[in-house]
Amino acid sequence: MSFDLVIAVDGPAASGKGTVASRLARHYGLPHLDTGLLYRAVGVGAMKQHGAIEEATAERVAAHITQAHLSEQALMTRAAGELASQVAVYPGVRAALLKFQQDFAAKKGGAVLDGRDIGTVIAPHAPAKLFVTASPEVRAERRWKQLSGLGEGVSLEEVLADIRKRDERDSGRDAAPLLQGADAALLDTSQLTIEAAFREACRLVEQARGSIKS
């Protein structure tokens, strides 16, 4: 019997989870969904419609999100990340985005999804779950380089403060808080190159698959 290979990759902002997830997807020939983009699209869309973040508007926007909304360059900005984490606390927004994510996870053959609650809420039966993390300082430096590359004039200290605030909000919220599930393998990328992190991720996925077959 063969299993669909669903790989759940969770972790805090700029931990390397997106890079690891996209490399795993390429390696296993699976589609990849960066679920942070869904929340970013809702945050940006709700702000456009209402001029402020407010629950009912965010829920309405979330109910109409499609794949086509996820490729806008504006979703990658610092402001979009902040708006995403504000709308992500609303249970109605999370509920409205659930089906999109679960349909993606149910693709024939499997899929790779990265986010905050993939292994705990979206795909609790995923055969392979990783929790990717790194120290706040390392994550801030990565995010700062990424934002500077996009032309955003922001200091490293400001990015570190953003990261700490976002960690606190994502971990402290009632609805699907960011946490390492008991069945998720920990991958700390603080001291790892992208290549080394990818190799270790493959090893952990293979280990998880092996434990299913045996």
Binding site for ligand C5P (CB under 6 A): 13, 35-36, 39-40, 81, 84-85, 88, 115-117, 166, 170
Q: Of 110 and 142, which CB lies nearer to ligand C5P in the complex structure? A: 142
Q: Of 16 and 203, which CB lies nearer to ligand C5P in the complex structure? A: 16
Alpha helices per DSSP H over 64-155: 78-87, 91-105, 136-149
Q: Of 117 and 200, which CB lies nearer to ligand C5P in the complex structure? A: 117
Q: Strand, helix or coil at 2? A: coil
Q: Of 99 and 203, which CB lies nearer to ligand C5P in the complex structure? A: 99
Q: Strand, helix or coil at 140? A: helix
* Residue 159 beta carbon to ligand C5P: minimum distance, rounded to whole angstroms: 12
* 110: number of Cβ within 10 Å: 22
Contact 176, 94 (CB under 8 A): yes
* Residue 36 beta carbon to ligand C5P: minimum distance, rounded to whole angstroms: 2
What is the rounded distance in angstroms from the CA atom of residue 36 to the CA atom of residue 30? Answer: 18
* Residue 178 beta carbon to ligand C5P: minimum distance, rounded to whole angstroms: 7
H/E run at residue 168: helix 156-172
Q: Of 23 and 116, which CB lies nearer to ligand C5P in the complex structure? A: 116
* Residue 85 beta carbon to ligand C5P: minimum distance, rounded to whole angstroms: 3
What is the rounded distance in angstroms from the CA atom of residue 175 to the CA atom of residue 163? Answer: 19
Query: For the stretch 70-83, what's the b/e string if a residue is b when 16 or more beta carbons lie within 10 angstroms of its beta carbon?
Result: beeeebebbebbbb
Structure tokens given for 4: 């669909």
* Residue 84 beta carbon to ligand C5P: minimum distance, rounded to whole angstroms: 4
- Tokens 């934002």 sit on residue: 147
